[in-house]
Structure 1
Amino acid sequence: MSASTMQNEPVILRDDRNGVATLTLNRPKAFNALSKAVLTELERLVDAIAQDRSVRVVVLTGHGAAFSAGHDMKEMASDRSEAALTDLFSHCSRVMVKLTRLPQPVVARVDGIAAAAGCQLVAACDLAVCTEDSRFATSGVKYGLFCATPAVALRRAVPQKAALEMLFTGDFIDAAEALRLGLVGRVVAKEALDDAVVDLAARIAEKPFDVIALGKRAFYDEAGMGLEESYRHATGVIVENALGADFAEGVAAFAEKRKPAWPNN
């Protein structure tokens, strides 16, 4: 393959199958670093998927030896003006928020390293499955840059003291520790990764779109609330859900001992 052909390859590949959109970071030689071009394309794809009810689940993964090594250090070094850095980190933060606000659940499929903003990307996904060889770090501090924006997602995914140890040391944790802390939900052998992700996505995809979207939104909205406020909010959400057509069909299917045929799918 010629150099010009490689340069023309998309920075993110999209593959849609059975209601699952798989987005693959496609900069393997740069360890799938989150360049401006990658963030721009990821935001474009997420915006499009948000409006596409045929997509029930999003899988986010990386091509090559890394999930993502984080921000593109060479690109950052080329322009360290306040305007450029503010634009870069604001853009990345906006993309992370959009993943959380996406109606569809997002599954991180991790095989390899996820460092700095790459670790942030895993933490920002709703679910994560990784191989036994995967490793995770918020390593910016080793290069003189505290991972302040990755910390936003990380502290919401793992206990506070574990998050701070990762942030202060920049050291990698292995897959078993990531599972223990809750950064990932499942660890599998490398050869079992695809089957595990496909199975998880399929079990979500068969559920009613509107119910999953409502539940995901409520889950994150409640995260910053106090106990009483959270219960008030959740009560409104579950009442809205219970009054809808999907629950009506679910109740009917339960009574008739059959599989639901979700009306809005």
Structure 2
Amino acid sequence: MTASTQKQLRQGKIRRGVGSVLRHLVLAILAAVWLVPIVWLLVTSFSSYRGINITTFFPESYTLDNYIDVLFHPDSVAQFPQWFANTFVVACFNCVISTCFVLMVAYAFSCCRFKSRRLLQNLSVTVNLFPGVLAMIAVYFVLRYLNLTNSYAGLIMVYAGSSGLGYLICKGFFDTVPASLREAAKLDGASEARIFLQVVIPMSRPILVYTIINSFMMPWTDFVMAKMILNSGVSSDWTVAIGLYNMLSRTLVNNYFALFCAGGVLVSIPISVLFVIMQKFYVEGITSGADKG
């Protein structure tokens, strides 16, 4: 190996090393920017000062009283246990209904052949491109006409009604299921429902987990639709998002901001635990559905 070749190799290693350092530096800066608000929310939730402290990043003194008050001492403003229960009920119902809708629509488009199938797929994808808030006024007046405003049934209907439009990733995963298995089941006399439940679903655990988590997270984190429908002013009927937002009003924020931070941390725990447990299937569901769709 000549001296010039060795020099070129050393220069190449230096360039790669510098490039790697720069990439990691940029990623570290982005991670810090992303984590700073979360760390501030976490440390503020332990602050002994109930208002917003903008003089220091870390509280001067720490306490667990904010978590104790939020969980065990609800008042007329902070009714976190009731809000948590309301949100959990809505999220569970929506999780079951939306998951069924998404899986059935995805199976129909992936495994069934019928007239105008391609047209319906294109229309559903096109409709899904428009933000849901565009239909808020129309949805509200429909629910008002049906006397479903200020009811969890109306809220669940709004969340689950259009969930089938999010079938695309799930369909991509169903496309990877061998058609020969479905054809063999048909030859044995199985109906479409039996093929769907006993052949396709057992082989689609990753996308099933992905769909369940997405369906559960939608009502858990939503504020806009919940605020529009649950607008009676009765705080015990609110979801967590509405209740926590109410703590940030001008007249309450100086007394409830630390409680707001504690509630925000508590709300994130169920989703975080669910995601950590199901992370393997969640990532596999996304990648398989996106690659094969």
TM over 0.5: no
Higher RCO (CA-CA < 8 Å; seq separation 6+): 2
TM-score (norm 2): 0.22
TM-score (norm 1): 0.23
Q: Which has the higher strand share?
A: 1
Q: Which has the higher helix share?
A: 2
